[in-house]
Structure 1
Amino acid sequence: MTAAGSGGVPPVATAPPSLPREVYVLSVVGGCVMLGLGLILPVLPVYAATFGATPTDIGVLVALFAFLRLATSPFCGRLGRRFGERRVLVAGLLLCAVSSGLTAFAGSFGQLLLFRGLGGVGSVLFSVSALAMLLTIAPAEQRGRASAVFEAGFLLGGISGPALGGLLALVSLSTPFAVYAVLLLATAVLALAVLRTERTAGAAPGREVIRLAVLLQDRRYPVACLAALSQGWVLFGLRSALVPTVVVAWGHDVAWVGWAFTISAVVQAVLIMPAGRIVDQVGRRPAMIAGTAVSAAAITGLVFADGYALLVILLSLYAAGSALLNAAPAALVGDVVAGRAGSGVAVFSMCTDVGAVVGPVVVGLIAERVSIAAAFASGAVLLVVALVASLTLTTVRNSKELIDE
């Protein structure tokens, strides 16, 4: 007999507890950063060419940003431990603002290199500190949702930025850089004003330190790092470097590349919040397995793709898997680090940057010396390895949450 039938009060479904306000603030901050990057990235090669930069020079300019992110990452954990992630985050935003403002008034290609390099340093200070704060603030049972909200801000900013940047470039090529500098200054003020709360105490100086050697002994951490490496390799090595070449080789212009990327980005933006709920409610392990399996299947399909429509479908399928891989690995790292200081979040971030720096070079060499299909296969292999590693995780259920080990 049901409770209603026996005169009892029928059970009422309770909504999941809301996320801490600071999670949404960090998402807005991240969205503003990505919006600004979207403003300047389409304009940067053209702007550099006005200083007489060759295609090789422009390649160096783009790679320098990623390289300095990677080189600075090892110091982020130490800085966060000493000064607190909130201060390091704001410092990163201010450094990016100075970098963008100076870039708007650069007088030579050498100055452009220097100023963009400063932006790479500021970028990693912000991104590592923001993720560390997010994983500290969000309760364990909400880390998947929190990571999804955080990533949603980046996605929305990245989708809307390029179109706005193109409009601003009609004023002058330096205008997007000046606007980005102002946007970053406003974002830094927002972070200073709103992130001053007792909830960020775990992101303050003087916390217990967890060593990298200890982290590596917990299988969740290397599995998360492997997934991050695969994501960096595929997103920046395969998608950004190979897909445009393939689309143009099929006889389409660059606008078709933009449409393919936009469609897949919209798919990911739509799915990112459901993915976060899956990570928290179903568990980290199932989400990791599903994310790596779907992503690997999509990239494997690109090996055999022979038309634009199929390519868009496969990129959208990859976006679906990527939505899970943007939430689950970060949640795993948060479970392991559990608010303690150290280099755990920085090394996790470095894995994505390693994929972004090394991936395009290696993928390019494979495409040139073997075939484009083999280059796509390199990403599929990495994702399959991440899938196998995810299968080694175990899930333990208790009355409050799903814990993956």
Structure 2
Amino acid sequence: MGINSEGLQHNAGRLTQPRAVWAVAFACVISFMGLGLVDPILPAIGKQLHATPSQVSLLFSSYNLVTGIAMLVTGFISSRIGMKWTMMTGTALIVLFALLGGMSGSIGQLVGFRAGWGLGNALFIATALSAIVGLSVRGSAKAVILYEAALGLGISVGPLLGGELGSISWRGPFFGVGALMAIAFISIGLLMPKVPKQKSRASLADPFKALRHPGLLVLAITAFLYNFGFFTLMAYTPFVMNLDEHGLGYVFFGWGLLLAFTSVFVAPRLQKRFGSIRSMSAALLLFALTLLVMGIWTSSQITMILAVIIAGAFLGTNNTLITTAVMEAAPVERSTASAAYSFVRFIGGALAPWLAGKLAEWYNPHVPFYIGALFVVIAVAIVIFGRKYLTHVDTASAGH
């Protein structure tokens, strides 16, 4: 990947990872807390700013759209200013736009500031994943597990904090994210050593060239479709569960705990026993079934709560499997593969929240879940039909 981790091994602690890896993982936890922190306050934002669910869902759409587009330039920037400064720049932007979001006076302002937040998010997360993988001394598969564990921990703890702060004011979680990301900024600056820049500078065309590799393209399209289900759950479900900020915080805390547990402990075992492709297909099918259940019993609060929590298990499993596969899917820099894949994936994440809200307005509260399930089933079909381009991914994974 252009990073030599041999010289960093003397920094490895008891868990045999360099200090730099743990610094980035810590920052990832805080960064991903920002995603879950906002979830419990979505209905409150709608009430306070007199916005419909589809308008509030634009908080996810603007964030994901800018994140996806900005992914195309992360490699270009990182190869010129280095990983550390790219992550610090992204973190600083998140701090700035999170604080501005907390001071918003209208839904339009809030959506705009979330777009700026997405730019910072792109610079941080694409570089963070490639940094953890590149600096790890335990192989890419274990590095991805660490990354997914940070994601799960952040997503699970975030709603709890968001529920507490959101019960005071919907602005609280935004200020909370700003404060937490300021801590992440300091931790990266102090704990992460200077990492050598890539020997070759990335071009703006590299992510598009990477998508010419059929394996990476199959995974990117799969994630694009799967994100319709994922963000239907994230952005729309809070509006139909009829829970307050505390209740939503606890539900998504349980969801995040299962996501974290399966990311770290279940996915690697399934991958080793059944291979990435079969395990990924099974996890996605089970997630689609969960969305179908949510569509049928949308009016049952207990069913919705249980379904959201259970869905975390399937999402955590799939996240680790597909992220690990992306790292091995194409003979390109891992940062380039991650940027290309994330660009396509986040575009799906931009369309899905808005579409879910609109479908509910146009038809009824059940339809968004049916459409989300349909898209996830199509994602499974893409994996199955494209599996001939992914055989080397199972082979590579078996070696970790």
TM-score range, shorter chain: 0.7 to 0.9
Residue type of the alignment partner of 2:25 = S
Distance 2:394 2:372 in 1: 38
**Alpha-carbon shift at residue 245 of structure 1 (Å):** 5.7
Matches within 5 A, 1:222-241: 222-237=217-232, 239-241=233-235
- The answer to whether structure 1 residue 380 and structure 2 residue 383 are counterparts is no
Q: Is the 8 A contact 2:159 2:253 kept in 1?
A: no
Asked if the contact 2:160–2:246 (Cα under 8 Å) also holds between the matched residues in 1, the reply is no
- Work out whether residues 275 and 394 of structure 2, in 8 Å CA contact, stay in contact via their aligned partners in 1: no
Match for residue 74 of structure 1 among 62, 72, 75: 72
What is the CA-CA distance between 1:340 and the residue it aligns to? 2.6
Q: Which amino acid aligns with 1:402?
A: A
Residue in 2 that maps onto 1:117: 115
TM-score (norm 1): 0.76
User: 1:394 matched to which residue of 2?
Assistant: 391
Instruction: Tell me, in whole angstroms, the C-alpha distance in 2 between the residues paired with 1:229 and 1:317.
Output: 22
Give the 3-state SS of the residue equivalent to 1:282 in structure 2. helix
- How high is the TM-score relative to the length of structure 2? 0.77
Q: Verify: 1:344 aligned to 2:341, yes or no.
A: no
Q: 2:276 aligns with which of 259, 274, 287?
A: 287
Indicate the larger mover: 294-303 or 16-25.
16-25
What is the match of residue 273 of structure 1?
264
Distance between the aligned counterparts of 2:308 and 2:277, measured in 1? 19
Q: Could you report, residue by residue, the CA deviation over 1:85-138 in whole angstroms, capped at 9, with x for unpaired residues?
A: 321111010011112233344466665454333212111111111122223223
Q: 1:86 aligns with which of 84, 87, 94?
A: 84
Structure 1: distance between partners of 2:106 and 2:236: 31
CA RMSD of aligned residues (A): 3.8
Give me the identity figure in percent: 20
Tell me whether 175-184 or 324-333 shows the greater mean CA deviation.
175-184
Tell me which amino acid in the other structure corresponds to 2:177: Y
For residue 139 of structure 2, give the secondary structure of its aligned residue in structure 1: helix
The answer for unaligned runs of 5 or more in structure 1 is 1-15
Structure 1 residues 2-401: aligned runs within 5 Å: 18-43=16-41, 46=44, 52-55=49-52, 58-106=56-104, 111-138=109-136, 142-169=139-166, 173-197=170-194, 200-201=195-196, 204-207=197-200, 209=202, 211-212=206-207, 215-237=210-232, 239-241=233-235, 243-244=237-238, 247=241, 260-275=251-266, 277-278=268-269, 282=272, 286-304=275-293, 305-306=296-297, 315=308, 318-336=311-329, 340=333, 343-364=336-357, 368-369=362-363, 372=367, 374-389=370-385, 391-392=387-388, 393-395=390-392
1:189 maps to a residue whose letter is: I
Give the paired residue count. 376
Looking at CA atoms only, which structure, 1 or 2, has the larger radius of gyration?
A: 1
CA deviation after TM superposition for structure 1 residue 187, in Å: 0.8
My pick for the range that moved more, 25-34 or 99-108, is 99-108
1:23 touches 1:134 (CA, 8 Å); kept in 2?
yes
Q: State the distance in 1 between where 2:393 and 2:119 align.
A: 39
In the alignment, the residues of structure 2 paired with residue 161 and residue 125 of structure 1 have an alpha-carbon distance, to the nearest angstrom, of 21
How far apart in 2 are the matches of 1:290 and 1:17? 27
Does the 8 Å contact 2:92/2:182 carry over to 1?
yes
What is the identity, as a one-letter code, of the residue corresponding to 1:151? E
Deviates more, 1:29-38 or 1:164-173: 164-173
